[in-house]
Amino acid sequence: MKQYIQRYVAADRVNHWIVAILFVILSLTGLAFFHPSFFFLSNVLGGPVWARILHPFLGIVMAVSFVFLARRVWHENFIKPVDIQWLKMIDEVINNGDGPDKLPIGKYNAGQKLMFWTMIGSVIALVLSGIVIWRSYFAEFFPISAIRFAMLVHMAAGFTGIVALIVHVYAAIWVKGTLRAMTRGSVEANWAKHHHPEWYKEQTGAK
């Protein structure tokens, strides 16, 4: 019989999916503002006018929700020597080799940790630059050069966040058994033993 270990409580998962859904909506509407060929994507918020009004407000809600999510997991994302070893084996990670799984990985591997810090950086940059370019409320307080610079920062951070998200979703699907951590809250004991042996030991007391 399969054994399962709890990885996330319901509050973690609700928090994660609020961030995820908002992040996707923001990415799609952001792309709609970025280039005419993506303009049709503004329909996800009911057309260009609503998309333009709602995008910054939803951005604030996403960022605040992200702060709560980050608070739940940040202490598991510190880079340790084992993560450097994992990164040195990146060829094996990509080619599905066994080496990286033999390392004493804790709750998250180096790839997940880098994704976490990339998201932290892009969300901070998106919020700060987003305030400067929020025409209806704040842009009038800044010189045009600052608005232009913030626009560039916003696009670069948005691009980085979208690429990080694609890698994150790809990895969640690619490493079989991971998705259920965020849907059901639990993972198979064998999944934990294989991919996150140190975390498995902490959870089960196994030697």
Contacting positions for ligand HEM (CB under 6 A): 7, 16, 19-20, 23-24, 66, 69, 73, 77, 108, 112-113, 115-116, 119, 165, 168-169, 172, 178-179, 181-182
CB of 159 to ligand HEM, least distance (A): 14
Beta strands in the chain (DSSP E): 4-6, 186-188
CB of 139 to ligand HEM, least distance (A): 25
CB of 32 to ligand HEM, least distance (A): 18
Residues designated as active site = 168
Q: At what angle do helices 48-73 and 110-132 cross, to 10 degrees?
A: 140
Q: Cβ closer to ligand HEM: 42 or 59?
A: 59
Buried-exposed string 170-190: b where 16+ CB fall within 10 A, e elsewhere: eeeeebeebeebbeeebbbbe
Q: Cβ closer to ligand HEM: 138 or 188?
A: 188
- C-beta separation of 32 from 51 below 8 A: yes
Q: Cβ closer to ligand HEM: 66 or 86?
A: 66
Distant-in-sequence, close-in-space partners of 117: CB < 8 Å, separation ≥ 6: 77
